A and B are shown apart, each in its own frame.
Chain A
Amino acid sequence: SQELEQSPQSLIVQEGKNLTINCTSSKTLYGLYWYKQKYGEGLIFLMMLQKGGEEKSHEKITAKLDEKKQQSSLHITASQPSHAGIYLCGAAESGTYKYIFGTGTRLKVLA
Chain B
Amino acid sequence: KAGVTQTPRYLIKTRGQQVTLSCSPISGHRSVSWYQQTPGQGLQFLFEYFSETQRNKGNFPGRFSGRQFSNSRSEMNVSTLELGDSALYLCASSPWSGPRGTEAFFGQGTRLTVV
A and B: bona fide binding partners: no
A interface residue numbers (CB < 8 A to B): none
B interface residue numbers (CB < 8 A to A): none
